[in-house]
Amino acid sequence: MSAPLRILLTGFEPFERDTLNPSWEVARTLDGSRCGAATVQAVQLPCVFGLAVEHLHQALRQWQPQLVLALGLAGGRSEVTLERVAINVDDARVADNRGQQPIDMPVVQGGPGAYFSTLPIKAIVHDLRAAGLPAAVSNSAGTFVCNHVFYALMHQLAKQVAGSPIRGGFIHLPYLPEQAARYPGAPSMALATQVQALQQALQTAMASRVDLRESAGQLH
Ligand code: PCA
């Protein structure tokens, strides 16, 4: 019998002043659900430099997924954003949940400057928009714990030998309405809509190995 198909979906614990993190709310809602022949396995990561990567590595060993999708909150964004690139920089504007605030440190000493997502990010944006779900490509995952985990994930996946490589990437999510209500003027998206977006994103990621060639660039 062949090994079960698994999708690892990670979400973060709350950080800074929040008591909720939509990334974990979405991941745990989808835990155990099916996407075609694959089963979704949700894992919560601590919002802590270093420790989050240890938890990620442990989850990769334990669940042996074929696809890894890491989620995080990007408060202030109005759309579901497909991150294009992870950079080898930790530069924290606020402290993480253990009080660490690295400044201009590499995620991986001696690692390449950046890694690209291996998700079909344009195809996902295309399908989300077609389904009436606001989405965009983002060219920066920031320099906090989300970018840190994204970079560490892609660094790990880059070590794979030929065969059928594990694909991975990162998606940032907007505030939930109950969070945005505390930051007047901030955009938000209902949990049900975020969950629907992730279901669609997973479906597209499983179905398309080759990305669409469609403009999603930005002038600045
Ligand atoms: N968002 C933060 C870290 C955890 C999260 O959900 C970020 O964008 O780096």
Q: Determine whether the shortest distance from the Cβ of 74 to ligand 1 is under 6 A.
A: yes
Residues 6+ apart with CB under 8 A from 219: none
Q: How far is the CA of 145 from the centre of ligand 1 (A)?
A: 6
Q: How far is the CA of 209 from the centre of ligand 1 (A)?
A: 27
Q: Which domains are assigned to the chain?
A: 6-207 (3.40.630.20)
Cα dihedral 15, 148, 70, 125 in deg (nearest 10) = 110
* Helix (H) or strand (E) run with residue 152 in it: helix 145-158
For position 164, what pLDDT does the model report?
72
- Residue ranges of the chain whose pLDDT lies below 50: none
Structure tokens belonging to residue 12: 């973060």
Q: Do the Cβ atoms of 77 and 31 come closer than 8 Å?
A: no
For 32-69, give the DSSP string.
T-EETTEEEEEEEE-SSTTHHHHHHHHHHHHH--SEEE
pTM for the model stands at: 0.96
One of 47, 83, 126, 148 is an active-site residue; which one? 83
Would residue 155 show up in a list of annotated catalytic residues for this protein? no
For position 165, what pLDDT does the model report?
87
Task: Tell me how many helices (H) and strands (E) the chain has.
Answer: 6, 9
Q: How far is the CA of 186 from the centre of ligand 1 (A)?
A: 16
Handedness of CA 210, 174, 85, 46 (dihedral sign): negative
Q: Do the Cβ atoms of 11 and 46 come closer than 8 Å?
A: no
Nearest atom in ligand 1 to 96's CA: 3
For position 75, what pLDDT does the model report?
97
Q: Determine whether the shortest distance from the Cβ of 175 to ligand 1 is under 6 A.
A: no
